[in-house]
């Protein structure tokens, strides 16, 4: 189904590495009530 009214997407992607060398990526977005983690990848 085609999208008739695209929604603007505002967010950030952060990357961090812990002391053991494990890296993580966090996608965050701004909602009406603040910032939220949309997805986290390891």
DSSP 11-38: EEEEEEE-TTS-EEEEEEEEETTEEEEE
In this predicted structure, what is the pLDDT of residue 32? 85
Q: Which residue has the higher pLDDT, 17 or 1?
A: 17
In this predicted structure, what is the pLDDT of residue 3? 58
In this predicted structure, what is the pLDDT of residue 1? 57
Band of pLDDT at residue 19, cut at 50, 70 and 90: very high
Give the start-to-end residue ranges of the domains of the chain.
Answer: 11-41
In this predicted structure, what is the pLDDT of residue 7? 62
């Amino acid at each position: 189904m085609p999208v008739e009214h695209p929604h603007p997407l505002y967010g950030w992607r952060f990357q961090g590495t812990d002391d053991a060398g494990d890296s993580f990526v966090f996608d965050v977005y701004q909602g009406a009530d603040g910032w939220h983690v949309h997805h986290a990848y390891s």
